[in-house]
Amino acid sequence: MSAVTTASTRAAIEAATVRLRDAGVEAARVDAEWLMAGLLGVGRAVLAANLDHELTPTLAARYDAAVTRRERREPLQHVLGWEEFCGLRFTVTADVLVPRPETETLVEWALSLLPPPGGIRRLAIDVGTGSGCIACALAAARPDLEVVAVDASPAAVQIARRNVSALELGGRVTVREGDLLSGLGRLRADMVVANPPYLPAAALAGLAPEVAAHDPLVALDGGADGLSVIRRLIAETPGWLTAGGALVLETAGGDQVPESAALMRAAGFSNIATRRDLVGVERFIAGFLPSTEDGGG
Q: Is the pLDDT of residue 175 over 60?
A: yes
Domain end (from 47, 72, 97): 72
Domain end (from 72, 94, 113): 72
What's the angle, vertex CA 79, arms to CA 147 and CA 50, rounded to 5? 110
Report the pLDDT value the prediction gives residue 294, as an integer from 0 to 100: 63
Report the pLDDT value the prediction gives residue 1, as an integer from 0 to 100: 43
Run of H or E residues at 175: strand 173-177
When divided into structural domains, the chain yields a total of 2
Same domain for 228 and 86? Answer: yes
Residue 157 lies in a domain: yes
Mean pLDDT value across residues 269-274: 97
Tens of pLDDT, residue by residue over 247-264, are 999 999 999 999 999 999
Residue 77 lies in a domain: no
**Radius of gyration for the chain, computed over Cα atoms and rounded to the nearest angstrom:** 21
Same domain for 144 and 274? Answer: yes
Tell me phi and psi for residue 49, to 5 degrees: -90, 0
Give the per-residue SS3 of 178-223.
Answer: CCCCCCCCCCCEEEEEECCCCECHHHHHHCCHHHHCCCCHHHCECC
- Pick the closest to residue 247 from 124, 148, 141 (CA basis): 124
Same domain for 118 and 261? Answer: yes
Q: Is the pLDDT of residue 19 over 80?
A: yes
- Asked if residue 172 lies in contact with residue 213, where contact means CB atoms within 8 angstroms, the answer is no
Q: Which amino acid is at 252?
A: A
Range of the domain at 45: 9-72
Q: Is the pLDDT of residue 285 over 90?
A: yes
Q: Is the pLDDT of residue 78 over 50?
A: yes
CA distance to 153, 162, 294, per residue, from 131 (Å):
11, 9, 37
| SS3 at position 52 | coil
pLDDT band at 293 (very low <50, low <70, confident <90, very high): low
Same domain for 134 and 36? Answer: no
Please spell the DSSP secondary structure of 33-45, one letter per residue.
HHHHHHHHT--HH
Same domain for 24 and 60? Answer: yes
Most trustworthy range by pLDDT among 33-42, 177-186, 225-234:
225-234
Residue 46 lies in a domain: yes
Tens of pLDDT, residue by residue over 133-155, are 999 999 999 999 999 999 999 99
Q: What percent of the chain has pLDDT over 70?
A: 96
Same domain for 127 and 102? Answer: yes
CA distance to 236, 241, 274, 289, 292, per residue, from 189 (Å):
13, 5, 21, 12, 15
Same domain for 174 and 36? Answer: no
pLDDT band at 2 (very low <50, low <70, confident <90, very high): very low
Q: Which amino acid is at 226?
A: G
Same domain for 244 and 267? Answer: yes
Residue 190 lies in a domain: yes
- Asked if residue 94 lies in contact with residue 216, where contact means CB atoms within 8 angstroms, the answer is yes
- Asked if residue 196 lies in contact with residue 241, where contact means CB atoms within 8 angstroms, the answer is no
Residue 262 lies in a domain: yes
pLDDT band at 232 (very low <50, low <70, confident <90, very high): very high
- Pick the closest to residue 91 from 80, 103, 101 (CA basis): 80
- Pick the closest to residue 32 from 7, 83, 82, 69 (CA basis): 69
| SS3 at position 20 | helix
Helix axes 154-166, 133-141, angle to 10 degrees: 30
pLDDT band at 237 (very low <50, low <70, confident <90, very high): very high
Q: What percent of the chain has pLDDT over 90?
A: 80
CATH code of 263's domain: 3.40.50.150
Report the pLDDT value the prediction gives residue 257, as an integer from 0 to 100: 97
Report the pLDDT value the prediction gives residue 36, as an integer from 0 to 100: 93
Q: Is the pLDDT of residue 118 over 90?
A: no
Instruction: Please provide the average confidence, as pLDDT, over all residues in the chain.
Output: 92
Residue 231 lies in a domain: yes
Cα separation, 100 vs 283, in Å, equals: 13
